[in-house]
Amino acid sequence: MARINPKFTTELQSYGAFDTNACYNCGNCTAVCSLSDEDNSFPRKMVRYSVLGLENEIQTSLEPWLCYYCGDCSTTCPREAEPGELMMSLRRYLTSKYDWTGFSGMLYKSLSISVIAFVLLAVGVIWFASSLNFEPELLLHYGHYFEMSAIGSVFLLILFPNLIRMWNMVIRKPKVNVSFSAYLKSFSELIVHMFTQKRTLGCDDSQTRWFQHLILVIGYLSLLFTTVFLDWFATNSSFILILGYLESVVIFSVTFIFMIGRLNKKTQVSKNSHPSDWFFVIWLFLMGLSAFVVRLFIDLDILETNIWMYLIHLTVLVQWAVIIVPFGKWTHFLYRSFAMYFEKLKSLSVS
Amino acid sequence: MKKKIGVYVCHCGGNISDYVDVEKVRAEIEKDESVFLSKTTMFACADSNQKDMVTDIAEKQLDGAVVASCSPTLHLLTFSAVAERAGLNKYNYIHANIREQASWAHSDDKVGATKKAIQIVKAAVAKVKRSNALEPFRVAATNAVAVVGAGIAGLRSAIQLAESGAQVYLIEREFFVGGRVAQWDDLFVSNETGKELITRLYDRAMNHKNITLFTGAEIIENSGSVGNISLKVRISPRHMKLDCNEGNLGRAIEVCPVVVPDKFNFNITTRKAIYHNFPGEYPQLPVIDMEHCTRCGECEKVCENVDFSQKDEFLNIKVGSVLLATGFDPYEPKDDEFGYKTIDNVVTLPQFKRLVHYCDDKLVYKGKEVKNIAYIYCVGSRQVDGENKYCSRYCCTATIHAAITAKKKYKDLYNFHFNRGIRTYGKQEVLYDESSRLGDIYLQSFEDHPPVVSKEGDKTIVTINDILTADKTLEVEADLVVLVTGMVPRQDNSIGSLLKIPRGRDNFFNEIHMKLRPVETVIDGVTIAGASQGPKNIMESMNSSLAAATKSFSLIAAGELALSPTIAKIDVDNCLWCGKCDDACPFNALTKTDVDGKQIAVVNGSVCKGCGMCMPVCPSNAIELIGYTDDQIESMIDALVSTD
């Protein structure tokens, strides 16, 4: 028994959904979706749950994460109810529900809160830099120190508890019976999907998007590794030096392509951009570009006289690590792959 | 007996001649000395053959004609017309069917088929020898029509008839005209109100000199037949003088101690026994409801216009045709049907519409504000177990329109539609679109698993296994449950019984043919319009009103009616009036009459259909059917059974 809550669609609209109510249950979206099978009706089931406001059913569902937004459903929808965009909004909604701090929801729902958060962090960085008298060596030192501690604390304090909450919502609360060995056996699923996004291949006709996404993820993760653990900005190894350059070029070029796509709105997936989508892609672009320029300035030996450049990079980095990674779109990197993992667990528990 | 008969035997391409030896048929028929001319033809119905026949009949002065071809359903009229064009009375043409009855039926036996064809044609020849020229039976038609019911359909029909030139008697049983439409506010698609539509029609009708309106009037007797129908009308008094002083009237209503549910508002409000019209009702005159009045006399004391001395009046009118536009009743749910009358916040759609009419800023029912409304569709329509198998057509649209109206009128209102498939056909689909975009939620079930309305504490819960959500059990906490009740025939069918109008399986008045003769009834001269015939929306009612008005007018327009002459004829000498013919007649065409001191049966020519039911029951064989006399039929039988 589930009670209908007609107010839910209004809430979903604050996550970016629109016109979901226009759905008249024709099922074209399900017919065209390559993910649909006998057990899972993509995306109509989620559309219906959303229209009826069945929050409990939505929160225990993994479907929103299993959809990689090819947009076929939205282009075939005779009512222009945008089922694809609804799935996107449900991912934002779920991210907010998984997040124990509640910041995700606030940032997704309110652009002004997001802007204020970005501005406050920028002011904080500049205030901190001024307290160090804009001393380049100190700044670089603390910058590197921040990177290392941010990775650890964001993961430990925010992301790990949120993953536990996700597990609780989709596995424990619905009483999915999973054996311990299943957790181990399916673990490879998590790793494979985290680093390859293999599932996207089944979604798009063209595999360009998957390829761009893949090299972006690899570029991003390896630049993270290169800067944090190989200390790119201070390295003497020419291998690491070139590696860092390459990685940052990959990041800002691919994100540049993504931004152009979102501006042109030619494909269904890039037609509707929520502020959080823009923040994600712009900040990733700025990260790559500013890191590249900072290293270039170091190599040209002009950074000390142009420390503002490093300040820009540090600001972008702090905003990225404190807002976008724990509470923003970055989390989809984790939730998507964990969703594949949990889905596998669910399938094992059935058999 | 005729001596110059022409016979044409048709090949029908090969349909006949492949199995029947048409040349042999012709040769056999030719032997009859009354047959002056006999021919075979490839296609008797072809233009060239029709022309040849006209020439033959006219030049050779034939006195009878037979075509042996296909079923008379196909071409009897064709060859009757050929005969008339050639100057031969059409009743001297006889059709013989040797295709369906011989060649097609006996394609395995060519010899037998040919033999049978010969006998069929011989029988036709035998009949035509004895046939007589007949002329249509003509009756004078009164240029007046009685329109029964002054709802939107009756008003529209009356105006149409009056403008065509007929005298119209508009007879309304209630004291006010306007019917159901007067009870409704905004209507899709123009958003005009029912009141506005009725006002417009009423003004037009009252300004036309040909229309006479009777309210509180009922037809109680009826006699005669198409063209000349006599009606007796009883007119109940209003018990109010016509020049009524409004001020005193208000006092009279105030002092009246009798409080009864107000039918105009479907019993959600009450009125007094003395009451005034609603704005959409006409005429604007008060009335005393004598069914409930206790004659206490309080009103008389304060209002000098009250007049209890008024009596029923009776009026005899004569009309050529009757048009019935008696409308429908909304279905009244049974007690406890979806909680009706057992759960306090369950109402019907008509009640809901009146409720919305009366609530301005907030929708309040029984003191509680309404936020969530559950509409349960198809109550009393498309019944699995009940008698009403039909779809009431108007309710999906009316409900969605009412839901949108309520949603726009009141803040934070939510609509839940528990339906069995939405049928907002045609242009009405835009309403469904608007409603779903406004956030109305549609839940659907099959007829065998209807939603359930139940009480949990002080909450009303509607539960459904929603087939749009994989049969998941869903529930809504409803502040108001609206039962979407369909249309049923008028409970009081006195006019239908009086005029003997047949009713269909749905119990609404039945037309002769739903597609080809959609407004005529088997009772000649009586047409039907609007929802008396079956559920219709206003647009459809207007279509049928105009059609019925035109059909009724066509009966009387020429001043006389030409009726078929093939009717029963009484042999005055032999008839002894036993009444058996009267019992057998389905049309009440026979009446016991005194003719020169003798009681005999007399046929009303404008009522008799020539069905022949009276003939075999007559013990003294005093009835003949013109065009099908015993002599003719016996000679045909002789021809069919002859062995030579």
CATH number where A45 lies? 1.10.1060.10
Q: Are residues A43 and A120 in the same domain?
A: no
Average pLDDT over residues B170-178: 96
Write down the pLDDT at residue A195. 86
Taking CB atoms and an 8 Å cutoff, what residues of chain B touch A41? 470
With an 8 Å Cβ cutoff, are A48 and B463 in contact? no
CATH superfamily of B144-236+312-327+490-556: FAD/NAD(P)-binding domain (3.50.50.60)
Angle, CA A226 vertex, CA A220 and CA A229 arms, to 5°: 125
Q: Give chain A positions within 8 Å (CB) of B460.
A: none
Test B469 with A48 for CB contact under 8 angstroms: yes
The Cα B618–Cα B330 span in angstroms is 47
Q: Determine the residue of chain B that is closest to A10 in CA distance.
A: B439
Give the distance from residue A101's alpha carbon to the nearest chain B alpha carbon, in angstroms.
31
- Preferred mutation among B422, B435, B469, B476 to probe A, highest tally of A CBs within 10 A: B469
Number of H helices, E strands in chain A: 20, 1
Determine, yes or no, domain membership for A3.
Answer: no
d(CA A13, CA B196): 41
> Using a CB-CB distance cutoff of 8 angstroms, which residues of chain A are in contact with residue B433?
22
Same domain as A93, residue A169: no
Chain A residues touching B475 at Cβ < 8 A:
1-4
Interface predicted TM-score (ipTM): 0.86
- Is there a domain that residue A313 lies in? yes
Whether residue A4 and residue B475 make contact (CB cut-off 8 A), yes or no, is: yes
Nearest CA in chain A to B371: A6
Domain final residue pick, A37, A72, A98:
A98
**Which residue of A lies nearest to B437 if distances are taken between CA atoms?**
A22
Q: Over the stretch B231-267, which tens digit does the pLDDT of each residue have?
A: 999 999 999 887 766 678 888 899 999 999 999 999 9
Which residue of B lies nearest to A26 if distances are taken between CA atoms?
A: B468
Alpha helix stretches (DSSP H) within B444-537: 494-499
pLDDT tens string B526-580:
999 999 999 999 999 999 999 999 999 999 999 998 888 999 999 999 999 999 9
Nearest-CA residue of chain B relative to A46? B469
Q: What average pLDDT does the segment B414-421 reach?
A: 96
Residue where one domain finishes, among candidates A63, A98, A133? A98
Residues of chain A with pLDDT under 50: none
CB contact under 8 A, A1 and B436: no
pLDDT of residue A339: 94
Query: Which residues of chain B are at the A interface, by a Cβ-Cβ cutoff of 8 Å?
Result: 372, 414, 416, 432-433, 436-443, 463, 468-470, 472-477
Last residue of one domain, picked from the residues A66, A98, A130: A98
Size of interface A-B (CB pairs under 8 A): 51
Q: What is the pLDDT of residues B588-624, one digit of tens each?
A: 889 999 988 899 999 988 888 899 999 999 999 999 9
Query: Cβ of A6 and B472 within 8 Å?
Result: no
Q: Chain A interface residues facing chain B, Cβ-Cβ under 8 Å?
A: 1-4, 6-7, 9, 19, 21-25, 41, 45, 48-49, 51-52, 54
Residues A26 and A75 occupy one common structural domain: yes
End-to-end CA distance of chain A: 26
The pLDDT of residue B158 is 98
Q: How confident is the model at residue B644 (pLDDT cuts 50, 70, 90)?
A: low
Q: A21 CA to chain B: closest CA distance, Å?
A: 5
Token pair in block for residue B349? 């759609």
CA-based nearest residue to A42, from A16, A67, A65, A79: A67
Residues A270 and A234 in one domain: yes
Burial of B408 (0-12, 13-18, 19+ CB in 10 A): exposed
Query: Which residues in chain B touch residue A25, judged by CB atoms under 8 angstroms apart?
Result: 442, 468
Type of residue at A257: I
- How many Å apart are CA B440 and CA B493, to the nearest integer? 39
Does a structural domain hold residue A334?
Answer: yes
At A151, give phi and psi (nearest 5°): -55, -50
Residues B448-502: tens digit of each pLDDT? 999 999 999 999 999 999 999 988 999 999 999 999 999 999 999 999 999 999 9
Amino acid at site A284: L
pLDDT at A311: 94
* Torsional sign, CA B493, B497, B498, B499: positive
Residue A159, domain member (yes or no):
yes
- List the domain range (segments joined by +) for residue A52: 8-98
Q: Which of B372, B416, B436 sits opposite A24 (nearest CB)?
A: B436
Whether residues A2 and B472 touch (CB distance < 8 A) is answered with yes
In the predicted structure, residue B202 carries a pLDDT above the cut 90: yes
Are residues A59 and A185 located together in one domain of the fold? no
Nearest CB among B432, B441, B473 relative to A51 is that of B441
Provide the domain count of chain A: 2
Question: Cα dist. A45→A7, A58, A87, B452 in Å?
Answer: 18, 10, 11, 24
**CATH architecture assignment, domain B339-351+371-476:** 3-Layer(bba) Sandwich (3.50)
Same domain, A150 and A280: yes
pLDDT at A61: 93
Does A1 contact B440 at a Cβ distance shorter than 8 Å?
Answer: no
Q: Is the confidence at residue B145, as pLDDT, over 60? A: yes
Nearest-angstrom CA–CA distance, A257 and B408:
45
- A3/B468 CB distance under 8 A: no
**pLDDT above 90 coverage of chain B, percent:** 87
Q: A17 vs chain B: nearest CA distance in angstroms? A: 13
Phi-psi region of B529 (alpha: psi -120 to 50; beta: other; left: phi over 0): beta
Chain B CB contacts of A4 under 8 Å are 416, 441, 443, 474-476
Q: How close B446 gets to chain A, by Cα (Å)?
A: 16
In chain B, which residue's Cα lies nearest the Cα of A41?
Answer: B470
CA distance B465 to chain A (A): 9
Residues A314 and A240 in one domain: yes
Say whether B474 and A24 touch across the interface (CB within 8 A): no
Report which of A249, A253, A244, A255 is spatially closest to residue A329, judged by C-alpha positions: A255
B472 to chain A: closest CA residue: A1
What integer pLDDT is reported at residue A351 of this predicted model?
A: 52
Residue of A nearest to B433 (CA): A22
Contact B414 A21 (CB under 8 A): no
Q: Which residue of B has its CA nearest to A27?
A: B468
Name the CATH topology of B564-626: Alpha-Beta Plaits (3.30.70)
- Identify the burial level of B366 via C-beta atoms within 10 angstroms of its C-beta, where 0-12 means exposed, 13-18 middle and 19 or more buried: exposed
In a domain? residue A1: no
Interchain proximity A6–B437, CB inside 8 Å: no
Is B414 in Cβ contact with A49 (below 8 Å)? no
Say how many residues make up chain B.
644
Would you say residue A228 lies in a domain? yes
* Residue A303 and residue A215 share a domain: yes
Q: Specify whether A204 is located in the same domain as A340.
A: yes
Q: What is the DSSP string of B397-459?
A: HHHHHHHHHHHHHSTT-EEEEEESS----GGGHHHHHHHHHTT-EEEE--TTS--EEEEETTE
Q: If you search the block for the tokens 């209630």, which residue do you land on?
A: B174
B443 contacts on A by Cβ (under 8 Å) = 4
- In 3-state terms, chain B is what percent helix, strand and coil (to 5)? 30, 25, 40
pLDDT band of residue B3 (cuts 50, 70, 90) is confident
Distance CA B169, CA B148 (A): 8
Residue B83: the pLDDT is 96
User: Over the stretch B277-334, which tens digit does the pLDDT of each residue have?
Assistant: 888 888 888 899 999 999 998 998 888 889 999 999 999 999 999 999 999 999 999 9
Q: In this structure, are residues A128 and A317 in contact, taking their beta carbons and an 8 Å threshold?
A: no
pLDDT score for B244: 67
pLDDT of residue A270: 80
Q: Which residues pair with A2 in a beta bridge?
A: B474
d(CA A158, CA A102): 11
CATH number for the segment(s) B5-133: 3.40.50
- CA-CA distance, B441 to A306, in Å (whole number)? 61
Per-residue CA distances from A62 to A66, A172, A210, A344 (Å): 7, 13, 21, 11
Binary contact (B477, A3; C-beta < 8 A)? yes
Considering only the beta carbons, identify the residue of B433, B438, B441 that sits closest to A52. B441
**Whether A191 and A63 share a structural domain:** no
Tell me if B414 and A41 make a contact (CB, 8 A cut-off): no
- Chain B residue with Cα closest to A52: B441
The answer to whether residues A169 and A297 belong to one domain is yes
Q: Is the dihedral of CA B478, B480, B484, B488 positive or negative?
A: positive
- Strands B472-478 and B480-485 come out as unpaired
Of A19, A41, A49, nearest to B437 by CB-CB distance is A19
* Residue A196 domain flag: yes
pTM > 0.90: yes or no: no
**Best residue in B419, B436, B477 to probe A by mutation, most A CBs within 10 Å?**
B436
Please judge whether B440 and A21 are an interchain contact, meaning their C-beta atoms are less than 8 angstroms apart: yes
Candidates A29, A52, A57, partner chain B, best to mutate (most B CBs within 10 A): A52
Same domain, A69 and A135: no
Question: Measured between CA atoms, how close is B404 to chain A, in angstroms?
Answer: 14
Chain B hits for A51, Cβ within 8 Å = 441
**pLDDT for A34:** 87
- The predicted-structure confidence for B511-521, as pLDDT tens digits, reads as follows 999 899 999 99
Q: Where are the domains of chain B?
A: 5-133, 144-236+312-327+490-556, 246-302, 339-351+371-476, 564-626
Give the Cα separation of B402 and B547 in Å (integer).
Answer: 30
Cα–Cα dist A294/A307, whole Å: 9
Equal fold, B144-236+312-327+490-556 vs B564-626 = no
Partner residue facing A52 (CB), from B436, B463, B469: B469
